[in-house]
Structure 1
Amino acid sequence: MTLDLQGVTTKAGLHALFKERLHFPDWYGANWDALFDCIVAIVPMPAELRLINWQEFAAAAPRDMDILRRVVVDYAQEMPGYRIVLG
Structure 2
Amino acid sequence: MLIMTLDLTGITSKVALHQLFKEQLGFEEWYGPSWDAFWDSIVAIVEMPPVLTMKNWEEFARCCPRDMEILRQVIQDYEEEMRPKRMVLG
Q: How many residues align?
A: 87
Q: Per-residue CA shift, 1:30-68, capped at 9, x if unaligned?
A: 200000000000000000000000000000000000000
The root-mean-square deviation of aligned C-alpha atoms, in Å, is 0.5
Deviation at 1:80, TM superposition (A): 1.1
Matched-pair identity in %: 60
Shift of 1:29: 2.8
Alignment of 1:4-83 (within 5 A): 4-83=7-86
Structure 2 spans left out of the alignment, 5+ residues: none
Which of residues 2, 6, 15 in structure 2 aligns to 1:3?
6
1:14 positional shift: 0.2
Report the Cα distance in structure 2 between the residues aligned to 1:5 and 1:29, rounded to whole angstroms. 18
Following TM superposition, where does structure 1 have runs of at least 4 consecutive aligned residues deviating by more than 2 angstroms? none
Amino acid in structure 1 at the alignment position of 2:35: W
